[in-house]
Chains A and B, each alone.
Chain A
């Protein structure tokens, strides 16, 4: 499988075999189901679509209900398609995939999710600027300022894409190369080293 869908549960720390204390994130990956398999002949590219999280029949639109019925699975809340790119998977529509089939301990995964919203933030927090000058020696209200945003009469405007203050967070963020510390097949849990974007109980996509 190229990827799976999970739910962020929270963070803790565990000791590794060398006695080092590692920061860990616990992700709940309930068995995902294959809802559709796309092939080069019918769709022009090879991909697999998987579903996560149960939902009620009556909360499902007729179009989607038909889609689930075709695959022979109950309605799901989140669908995600992964391109196969030469990955060989012998899966049928309706098949269940569990975490231990997907990754093993010691492997590396990428995790993407929607980061926590930070609201309107200045350039120091949002873009990592250093602020202007010193805090003391008579310096006044420039500590977290952006500094110059461009030249004057030529070009007489601010270039597009100039990094400025604004809304931060709430965007899709990917954290790459997180080591898988534990895989718990019994409770469908995945423990990775480090942090993962988003608040607790948010949906995250795990790819290899």
Chain B
């Protein structure tokens, strides 16, 4: 397994982002290509989970678009990722908060964690 790790570390550019975990509300800025133009788009939502380890780690964020839930999964080391902004730290008891999918309205609130 060591050699796989070696390849990952050798050929992936790791990114530095502030630490965040499940329950936090974050804004992710990433580049998208439209034809041959490039622009930055953002996606703001609640982090549901962080998954995997090392250079192949990913995180899932969920937002409500109107009354439809939208989830996106981002690899932490994706080259198109520009910036991660933490908007709110949430107080949750587990590392993966999938119960959030079933909740709407008042029940979907996450208590803020004061640092």
Give complex CA distance A191, B3 in Å.
11
Q: Which residues of B contact A13 (CB under 8 A)?
A: 56
- Main SS of the interface on chain B? helix
Tell me if B7 counts as interface (CB < 8 A to partner A).
yes
A189 touches B7 (CB 8 A): yes
- Main SS of the interface on chain A? strand
Tell me if A10 counts as interface (CB < 8 A to partner B).
yes
A19 touches B80 (CB 8 A): yes
Q: How large is the interface on B (under 10, 10 to 19, 20 to 34, 35 or more residues)?
A: 10 to 19
Tell me if B99 counts as interface (CB < 8 A to partner A).
no
A11 touches B4 (CB 8 A): yes
Query: Which B residues, 75 to 98, have Cβ-Cβ distances below 8 Å to chain A?
Result: 75, 77-80
Q: Would you list the 10 A-B pairs with minimal beta carbon distance, nearest first?
A: A19-B79, A10-B4, A9-B3, A19-B80, A12-B4, A26-B7, A26-B4, A15-B79, A14-B11, A12-B8
Which B residues have a C-beta under 8 Å from some C-beta of A?
A: 1, 3-4, 6-8, 10-12, 55-56, 75, 77-80
Which A residues have a C-beta under 8 Å from some C-beta of B?
A: 9-15, 19, 21, 24, 26, 28, 182, 184, 187, 189, 191
